[in-house]
Structure 1
Amino acid sequence: MPPTLEQISVTDLHFDPANPRLPERVNGADPAEVTDFFLLECNLIELMMSIAEQGYFHGEPLLAVPASEGAGYTVVEGNRRLASLMLLSGQIEPRSMEKAVSRVLAEAKEKPLSVPCLVFPNREDVLNYLGYRHITGIKEWDALAKARYLFQLRDRIGGTDHSAAHRTLAKEIGSKSNAVAKTLTGFNILNYAKDAGILRELGLSVDEIPFSLLTTAIGWQNIAEFIGLTDPGDVELTGIDRDQVYELFLWAFYKSDGYRTKIGDSRNFSKFSRIVTYPQALSALRNGASLEEADVLAEGPVEAIRILIQKAISSIEHAQRSIALAGGLTEDDLADSTKLRKLAASLEGSIRSNLVIDED
């Protein structure tokens, strides 16, 4: 059946506890907690002011379905607007930003008690619409909200034929099946990390993980295989390796100094992808080497020596060219250059000895 447009009292409207935009820390079944989230993190005051000044814009009806339990309707699309309406109508007392809310209420010209709603027979029909609007449409959700939404759609389809399900979902949201598969795989890995205690051990929460960074990581085949996936679309995680998932989250998401992770931004996944295929490089990373230091070993010890020597030559040549412009050099600088000369001589002797041994 097609949806019907109805004018519904705000008192009969309820938040959607499965709203993909709500972080895990927010109890979607608690209206006051949902409203607090919107007030503190979603610029709700500005929306309240707009509605209070101009009234509710009838061109954007809320999307609702009959409530599964009790009377009224669940608003599947438009929970932020619903929070504004609940505050304006006095249905909810704010627990945050009370003074700002009070100012809006005191100056409000409009306090709508009923609003237009497009009522769908069931939630599945609304989900189809949301896929177009928020995945590929004009009001995109963030990466984690998209993943939660896709997970709901996949659960609706059911069955064990993942490839067919991913193709169906791709058509519904205007995407590609491999992108759908990678998103769902990333979401399953994130839930695995939570359930396996990895996030707790690292002091992280689901909502602190940059989800797009996680899906970028598993998009590299070597990284996918490193954590036990057959490929980036391995949604069942049948071969997942707990220890190596821990390492991925440790290096990609844990900020040991409070500012930066070991891997850094997504551009460095190319280095990490090389490192995980070379035991010596991976061992160095595990033993405290930086990503750059470990990456040098990814081509093997001989190539690492060559790279490091060339870097040293370049640095010394640059220092030599800068001498004429420098002022205020000290005895400490002289001592460092002497140490550098001795290290270079020692390295030369080691290489010479290595050549003699090889010839023998």
Structure 2
Amino acid sequence: MEKKEDKFRKINYSKIKLDPENPRLPGSFRKGSKNERDLINWMLLEAATVELMYAIGQNGYFVGEQLLVIEDEEKSGNYIVIEGNRRLTAVKLLNEPELATVKKAAISEVIKNTDERPQDIPCLIFDEKSEILKYLGFRHITGIKSWKLLQKASYLNDVYHNEFDDKNFLTKCRDIAKNIGSSSNYVRRLITAFKIFKKVEDEGFYSISGLDDTKFHLNYLVDALNKKNIKNFIGVNINSNKPLEELNQDNLKELIFWWFEKTEGVPRIIGDSKGLKKLDLILGSEKAKEAFRDGKSIDDAVELTKDIDSIFRTEIIKSLERLESADKLTHKVEDFYSNLYEDLKMIRKLALKIKEYKDQIEDSEDEF
């Protein structure tokens, strides 16, 4: 078997292709064209490639930033980059700026103001893409070069389906977590959230205006899978070997609408930690859930989850205790503050208001 040190080689940039399965690419892009010119344009628009062109064009290519590549099965003597797509794009454009059809003016400035045009790039050649996955997982999920959440989830989903084929969901997630230095719970949530996202994507994002894979906040789903009532509502169990076996498609659709459909520019729920906490409370109460479905605001629905009778009693008792404490101090007060009379009138007014409401409800003739 060839030793790893023998796999280091400098390869001409023209012999290396960009990876059409790069996790940084949005799903909609990966489903479409895989033409390298399209990949280059995307890298220019989305991955700060012009700035990297300046750095390489001024300083040359640093040998320590090796590309990780595999052989191209479709073309002998050629390679596909698995790690380093942005660096490869920068080198290609420094040598062939005409490859780009976007940001032409910016690229012209780079060409005009730089001199370095590296052609032979340091590469580590691997036999299989899977050999690179552990490194990518550590570098881009738990390491310093962190991907966006959807990119992380896409990568983990690829690992899940290409590795550990003879193992069940829980075991696979535990092994993946060990490989990348993460927790099993986090891996289970990421992979499960990504599978749910793909179902939503397959439904055309339920035709919600403006929603696509670039606007979808996967963190809403990932964080929601830590909430008991939300998980139960959509029928997901990340502690099962078949986490989506009882997925409730109707409730999932309703949840996505709550998060992403906007009325007057505002969705019904923001999927941040505060919003998810409120939603979890609502979904744990049938009364609150139905009220929210019927149009109640999220805050009004949350109020319905509380034991209002108990809260009311506690507030009255606390108020009484404070008045009693004040009463005990009365004979010691030397200078009553100027607004005392107004405050006492307000206390009496509120007490009468509560009493009158009680009388209306109970039709009582009790003395007060």
TM-score range for the pair, normalised by the shorter chain length: 0.7 to 0.9
Aligned residues of 1:147 and 1:184 also touching (Cα < 8 A): yes
Residue in structure 2 matched with residue 334 of structure 1 by the alignment: none
Q: Is the partner of 1:7 in helix, strand or coil? A: strand
Mean CA deviation greater in 292-301 or 172-181: 292-301
1:354 paired to 2:357: no
1:29 paired to 2:41: no
Mean CA deviation greater in 127-136 or 227-236: 227-236
Structure-to-structure mapping, 1:78-93, within 5 angstroms: 78-90=84-96, 93=99
Residue in structure 1 matched with residue 150 of structure 2 by the alignment: 144
Q: 2:232 aligns with which of 225, 228, 251?
A: 225
Aligned residues of 1:220 and 1:232 also touching (Cα < 8 A): no
Give, in whole Å, the separation in 2 of the partners of 1:307 and 1:86. 71
Residue in structure 2 matched with residue 9 of structure 1 by the alignment: 12
Give 2:63's aligned amino acid: H
Alignment size in residue pairs:
328
Residue in structure 2 matched with residue 66 of structure 1 by the alignment: 71
Residue in structure 1 matched with residue 139 of structure 2 by the alignment: 133
Q: Deviations over 1:53-88 (max 9, x none)?
A: 111111111110001322311100000011111111
Q: Give aligned-pair identity as a percent.
A: 32
Residue in structure 2 matched with residue 273 of structure 1 by the alignment: 280
1:178 paired to 2:178: no
Aligned residues of 1:188 and 1:235 also touching (Cα < 8 A): no
Give, in whole Å, the separation in 1 of the partners of 2:315 and 2:148. 41
Q: Is the partner of 1:115 in helix, strand or coil? A: strand
Structure-to-structure mapping, 1:152-163, within 5 angstroms: 152-157=158-163, 158-159=165-166, 161-163=168-170
Structure with max Cα Rg:
2
Structure-to-structure mapping, 1:328-339, within 5 angstroms: none
Give, in whole Å, the separation in 1 of the partners of 2:241 and 2:168. 12
Report the CA distance shift for 1:195/1:159 in structure 2 as closer, same or farther (over 3 A). farther
Mean CA deviation greater in 229-238 or 123-132: 229-238
Structure-to-structure mapping, 1:291-306, within 5 angstroms: 291-299=298-306, 302=309
Unaligned runs of at least 5 residues, structure 1:
310-320, 325-340
Compute the displacement of 1:239 (Å).
0.8
Q: 1:40 aligns with which of 18, 41, 45?
A: 45
Mean CA deviation greater in 181-190 or 1-10: 1-10
Give, in whole Å, the separation in 1 of the partners of 2:189 and 2:166. 18
Q: Is the partner of 1:251 in helix, strand or coil? A: helix
Residue in structure 1 matched with residue 258 of structure 2 by the alignment: 251
Residue in structure 2 matched with residue 168 of structure 1 by the alignment: 175
Mean CA deviation greater in 90-99 or 169-178: 90-99
Report the CA distance shift for 1:285/1:250 in structure 2 as closer, same or farther (over 3 A). same
Compute the displacement of 1:91 (Å).
6.9
Unaligned runs of at least 5 residues, structure 2:
317-338, 343-348
Structure-to-structure mapping, 1:204-219, within 5 angstroms: 204-219=211-226
Aligned residues of 2:177 and 2:183 also touching (Cα < 8 A): yes
Compute the displacement of 1:355 (Å).
2.9
Give, in whole Å, the separation in 2 of the partners of 1:284 and 1:123. 51
Give, in whole Å, the separation in 2 of the partners of 1:197 and 1:38. 25
Give, in whole Å, the separation in 1 of the partners of 2:90 and 2:275. 42
Structural RMSD (CA): 2.9
Report the CA distance shift for 1:89/1:281 in structure 2 as closer, same or farther (over 3 A). same
Give, in whole Å, the separation in 1 of the partners of 2:166 and 2:310. 50
Compute the displacement of 1:35 (Å).
1.6
Compute the displacement of 1:19 (Å).
0.8
Compute the displacement of 1:284 (Å).
1.6
Compute the displacement of 1:232 (Å).
6.5
Mean CA deviation greater in 267-276 or 299-308: 299-308
Q: 1:122 aligns with which of 108, 117, 128?
A: 128
Give, in whole Å, the separation in 2 of the partners of 1:306 and 1:297. 16
Structure-to-structure mapping, 1:189-208, within 5 angstroms: 189-201=196-208, 203-208=210-215
Mean CA deviation greater in 183-192 or 206-215: 206-215
Give, in whole Å, the separation in 2 of the partners of 1:74 and 1:246. 39
